[in-house]
Amino acid sequence: MARRRLIAANWKMNKTPEETEAFVRSFLPEAARQASLEVLLLPPFTSLDRAGRLLVGTGIALGAQDLHFEAAGAFTGEVSAAMLSACGCRYVLVGHSERRALLREDDALVNRKLRRAVASGLVPILCVGETLAERRGGETERRIAAQLAAALDGVESRDVRPLIIAYEPVWAIGTGEAASPAAAEEVMGRIRETVGSAHGKEAREGVRLLYGGSVTPQNIASFLDRPDIDGALVGGASLRPDALARIVAAASSERA
Ligand code: PGA
């Protein structure tokens, strides 16, 4: 089964609506439409509406960095799935390691958010990854398996098929020290097997796996060379339109 490649730009807490608009206007002409490749922008909440309007009809997808696990109600400061969809979002990140570490999001909360996304028609991008201490302690496999099992608990197999899983070793995020493609592929191959054992062959073949952590225009091709790596979740290098365009161009030419 051919899985469509995905390059997702996680802007984190960067860019006002004006800066978002300037980015999109400069990025669009550089990002030639590629049928084989999907490009996704993940701006902060306050830029979603503006980005959604600018991206209509461009072929570039929009997503959010987080959502609340309830549909609506008295949750001061939170943003619901329906609000994201209304801005034009198709995707939403769930369980990014910065939220897990800095805002104490645990596996149970990640599960609730993932299920809300699925129930609301958003495609979740589930982020998993081990810390440096876990890697040094030989805990990587166990930690990733636990994150997957908890996040996907109670999710139907048919809902796992469009799912996207981003493997982001915490020690590689924003450090300039990407994992080696071979090490990433090893973990990601296991993620695919785990999804397959729990949800069957179609889910195994269909789930798209992204690598994230210090991806650059220079190293993107080495990750996409690997059969289990279907794309990338890019932070720092996605903040400049020219750098993101170079990543997209490298990803487009990599796999026929
Ligand atoms: P980075 O961030 O590319 O800046 O390492 C990736 C991420 O956190 O999604």
Render pLDDT for 132-175 as a digit per residue (tens, 0 to 9).
999 999 999 999 999 999 999 999 988 887 899 999 999 999 99
Whole-model pTM: value is 0.96
What does 191-250 look like in DSSP terms, one character per residue? HHHHHHHHH-HHHHHH-EEEEESS--TTTHHHHHTSTT--EEEESGGGSSHHHHHHHHHH
Name which of 201, 190, 128 is nearest 160 in CA terms. 201
In the chain, the domains with their CATH numbers are 5-251 (3.20.20.70)
User: What is the CA(236)–ligand 1 centre distance, in A?
Assistant: 6
Name which of 108, 73, 110 is nearest 94 in CA terms. 110
Mean pLDDT of the chain: 95
pLDDT over 90 for what percent of the chain?
91
User: What is the CA(233)–ligand 1 centre distance, in A?
Assistant: 7
Pocket test for ligand 1, best of 126, 165, 168 (most atoms within 8 A of CB): 168
User: What is the CA(73)–ligand 1 centre distance, in A?
Assistant: 32
Q: Give, using CA atoms, the residue closest to atom 9 of ligand 1.
A: 235
pLDDT band (50, 70, 90) for residue 207: very high
Q: Give, using CA atoms, the residue closest to atom 1 of ligand 1.
A: 235
In this predicted model, what pLDDT tens digit does every residue of 191-204 receive, in sequence order?
A: 999 999 999 999 99
Instruction: Mark whether 68 is an active-site residue.
Output: no
| Ligand 1 pocket residues where CB is under 6 Å | 10, 168, 173-174, 212-215, 233-237
Q: Active site residue: 38, 68, 96, 134, which one? A: 96
Residue 61: alpha-carbon gap to chain centroid:
12
The contacts of residue 117 (CB under 8 Å, 6+ apart) are 67, 81, 92, 94, 123, 124
Question: Taking a C-beta distance cutoff of 8 angstroms, is the pair 208, 3 a contact?
Answer: yes
Which atom from ligand 1 is nearest to the alpha carbon of 175?
Answer: 5
User: What is the CA(102)–ligand 1 centre distance, in A?
Assistant: 15
Question: Taking a C-beta distance cutoff of 8 angstroms, is the pair 192, 164 a contact?
Answer: no
Q: Is the pLDDT of residue 255 over 70?
A: no
| 84's tokens | 């994201």
pLDDT of residue 32: 67
Instruction: Give dist(CA 245, CA 25) in Å, integer.
Output: 12
Instruction: Mark whether 96 is an active-site residue.
Output: yes
Q: Give, using CA atoms, the residue closest to atom 3 of ligand 1.
A: 235
